[in-house]
Structure 1
Amino acid sequence: MCCAMQGLQSRAVGLLALALVAGPATAADFEVKEITIPELKAVFGQIESRTVVPARARIGGTVTEILVDEGREVRDGEVIARVVDDKIALELSAAEARIRALESQLDNASTELERAQQLLGRGVTTQSRVDQAQTTFDVITNQIAAAIADRSVIEQRSREGDVLAPATGRVLSVPVTQGSVVLPGEPIARIATGRYFLRLSLPERHAAAIVEGDEVMIGRRGLAANQSGRLAAATPGRIVKVYPEIADGRVIADVDVADIGDYFVGERTLVSIPIGRRRVLAVPAAAVVTRHGVDYVALRAEKGIAEVAVILGERFEGEDGPMVEILTGLEAGDRIILP
């Protein structure tokens, strides 16, 4: 009642204090009527990545080199660190020595086999001796093949000391330092892959009002709300998922943004999200003129045109362009003059 009386008083003062301008209007008229607009709530959302995958060490050993740091963009398969196990070099040397020893035995077995075959051709020896020499030659040959395979396994283990990026993305953290001792499977870096999205955490009283597909406005980095509570400049986004579980009195929703910018994962930004709808009186923003800190609109009256002092509310984008809410000074059905 108090607000209604103040509105009537402001309307009366505006009509009485300002002189009427006689004559027909040359600009278009706009009929003031109630419209329904979404009621927005300013909340903070947190930037998240679709997936965060760890780059793990494939062997145990000492981290001898780290090639990336936090915030670095990496490609799939890129070497981001190196882990060295000193025992691998010793095992490789032992494998090489074993192969050389077997190769010497193979030369001797080959010589014995040739000699046995020559003696058999002369009729000096028996077939069993030739078969025995052939068996010895084949066994040593297979032992060399097995030793070469063992050496290949050791060489592969040494190559697995290179820690590779599992996917293309941005490095979030590197929890180890050069000289650290790691075990197989221990994470060397965490990499954010895929597109970023915005995660909202809202009080559960708004759970019923949050609907998938609703549009929200995301502020730029460091952007604050203006006097009307709306974001002065923002990027539109859309709610793509509302989680069905409420935890600690909060409902979680995910917002997809086409061009979210260069935010950091975990960074917070201001978001305007619809939590309901209300009916208001609104006029085009171009119809409002401000003089000496007071807002006026030109109202068509019976005897001409009068300027009426109004109190403005929220600004928003309507079907007719930028609109502004009128709290007091006008009534539904009034006709105002547009410039």
Structure 2
Amino acid sequence: MNHEAGSLDGETLLIEGPDNGARRRRRILIIAIVAVLALALVGWFLLRDGEAAPAASSAASQAPSVTVVVPGRADVARAINVNGTLAAKREMPVGVAGEGGMVTRVLVEPGQWVREGQVLALVDRSVQTQTAASLAAQVNVARADLTLAQAELERAQQLVGRGFISQADVQRRIATRDAAAARVKVAQAASSEQRARNGRLDIRAPEAGLVLTRQVEPGQIISSASGTLFRMAKGGEMEMRAQMAEDDLVTLKPGASATVTPVGSTRKFAGRVWQVSPVIDPQTRQGIARIQVPYDPALRPGGFASASIVRGDASLPELPQSAILSDEKGNYVYIVNKDNVVQRRNVRLGTVSDTSVAVADGLDGTERVVVSAGAFLNPGQKIAPVLSKPGA
């Protein structure tokens, strides 16, 4: 027996033996070891957190501060940038309208304004003048015959009542008078025709406008087969014939405003689309938009030009030009995600102004976009974003 019981003053006493004391000491030892391990584990966690916090703070302090903007959306004019050639809006080729002949004088030069019907070149008419004089003389002969026939008819009508001539003689004189009148009309028609032919010998401007080219010189023999002698721009009106993709032509309507810039010039000319091609080239899948512009000496037909055509307003994000980057893959911007990490976002540009660029595709306006310093950042890099107001 490990325990002995005894009674003292009526109470029962429990006397602990050697085995019971050993077990108690082992429990105390185990509890102490567990407590020490727990304290050690807590200390290790505290130490690790203490070291991680400065590291995180150091990493945050080393992230570069970069200005970002949330562009939102604004109503901007959608524009199409196109290229094309300058030409006369209505080009008039002027050639020989009559029988032709030898040119005696050329009265105009390229770049000169002329009025409708103005003589551009004179053609020798010495033979035609004599023909016209001959026909005019024949008119006078026919008129004289008519006067004589009319007088004879009047005398016969006076004598027929007295019985000196028959009614048949009167009828013959009436026929003679009518034939003479007809010959007068024939002679007059022939004379008028010759005068008209003589008038068509000269090369005249069909409409008022600007002379573009001259391809005739004095002494040159011309005829209806000579082709174009002068080229004119009706009213001096000019246009740009812009080559446009099929999908752009679908949404373009006459009346759209445009800005035309000739190659080699910094001047811009305000114009308006007056005609959109009804057909598409099956090879290039392009059509032509014709942009009317007012006359200016800087607008030379045949020259090359670029244009920006405004198609209407749209709600698009707008960014500063410094936010737009480009490489061999195209245009892109850097956006900052919720973890402040830089990400690349490809975009398609819309209207470009002096201060901003509209983004036609790639952004919805709620992203945080890097305003500048994008060239010094890399995708995946962590930054400290500094928010700026749009337009600031």
> Which band: TM-score by shorter chain?
0.5 to 0.7
Equivalent residue for 1:254, pick from 281, 289, 313: 289
User: Which of 1 and 2 has greater Rg?
Assistant: 2
Counterpart position of 1:65 = 105
Counterpart position of 1:46 = 85
Equivalent residue for 2:241, pick from 170, 190, 199: 199
Letter aligned with residue 254 of structure 1:
A
Query: Any idea what the Cα deviations from partners look like across 1:186-245, whole Å, max 9, x if unmatched?
Result: 54322222632222336xxx5435642687653255237xxxxxxxx7456566636642
Counterpart position of 1:177 = 217
Letter aligned with residue 196 of structure 1:
M
Structure 1 residues 317 and 334: alpha-carbon distance in aligned structure 2, compared to 1, 3 A threshold:
farther
Counterpart position of 1:335 = 387
Is structure 2 residue 32 aligned with structure 1 residue 32? no
More strand by share: 1
Query: Any idea what the Cα deviations from partners look like across 1:3-24, whole Å, max 9, x if unmatched?
Result: xxxxxxxxx79769xxxxxxxx
Counterpart position of 1:264 = 300
How many residues align? The count is 270
Is structure 2 residue 135 aligned with structure 1 residue 89? no
Task: Compute the displacement of 1:71 (Å).
Answer: 2.0
Letter aligned with residue 232 of structure 2:
I
Structure 1 residues 58 and 185: alpha-carbon distance in aligned structure 2, compared to 1, 3 A threshold:
farther
Counterpart position of 1:9 = none
How far, CA to CA, are the matches of 1:40 and 1:104 in structure 2? 77
Letter aligned with residue 200 of structure 1:
A
Structure 1 residues 107 and 165: alpha-carbon distance in aligned structure 2, compared to 1, 3 A threshold:
closer
SS in 1 for 2:265: coil
Q: Contact 2:65–2:385 (CA<8 Å) still a contact in 1?
A: no
Structure 1 residues 242 and 167: alpha-carbon distance in aligned structure 2, compared to 1, 3 A threshold:
same
Q: Contact 1:33–1:332 (CA<8 Å) still a contact in 2?
A: no
SS in 1 for 2:218: coil
More helix by share: 2
How far, CA to CA, are the matches of 2:215 and 2:307 in structure 1? 32
SS in 2 for 1:57: coil
Q: Which has the higher contact order (CA 8 A, sep 6+)?
A: 1
How far, CA to CA, are the matches of 1:32 and 1:64 in structure 2? 74
Task: Compute the displacement of 1:123 (Å).
Answer: 4.9
Counterpart position of 1:74 = 114
Aligned ranges 1:1-339 → 2 under 5 Å:
32-34=69-71, 44-62=83-101, 63-106=103-146, 108-109=148-149, 112-113=152-153, 116=156, 123-179=163-219, 180-183=221-224, 186-193=227-234, 195-201=237-243, 207-208=246-247, 211-212=251-252, 217-220=259-262, 222-223=264-265, 234-235=268-269, 241=276, 244-246=279-281, 248-249=283-284, 251-254=286-289, 256=291, 259=294, 261-262=296-297, 263-271=299-307, 282-283=319-320, 316-317=352-353, 322-323=355-356, 326=372, 328=374, 334-336=386-388
Letter aligned with residue 145 of structure 1:
K
SS in 1 for 2:233: strand
SS in 1 for 2:97: coil
Q: Contact 1:237–1:255 (CA<8 Å) still a contact in 2?
A: no
Q: Contact 2:63–2:384 (CA<8 Å) still a contact in 1?
A: no
SS in 1 for 2:210: strand
TM-score with structure 2 setting the length: 0.52
Structure 1 residues 66 and 219: alpha-carbon distance in aligned structure 2, compared to 1, 3 A threshold:
same
Task: Compute the displacement of 1:51 (Å).
Answer: 1.9
Query: Any idea what the Cα deviations from partners look like across 1:132-153, whole Å, max 9, x if unmatched?
Result: 3443333223322322232222
How far, CA to CA, are the matches of 1:281 and 1:134 in structure 2? 95
Q: Contact 2:97–2:201 (CA<8 Å) still a contact in 1?
A: yes
Q: Contact 1:116–1:130 (CA<8 Å) still a contact in 2?
A: yes
How far, CA to CA, are the matches of 1:107 and 1:198 in structure 2? 65
Structure 1 residues 280 and 171: alpha-carbon distance in aligned structure 2, compared to 1, 3 A threshold:
same
Calculate the aligned-residue CA RMSD, in Å: 4.6
How far, CA to CA, are the matches of 2:294 and 2:372 in structure 1? 34
Structure 1 residues 201 and 116: alpha-carbon distance in aligned structure 2, compared to 1, 3 A threshold:
closer
Query: Any idea what the Cα deviations from partners look like across 1:102-136, whole Å, max 9, x if unmatched?
Result: 34544554565566567656655444444434433
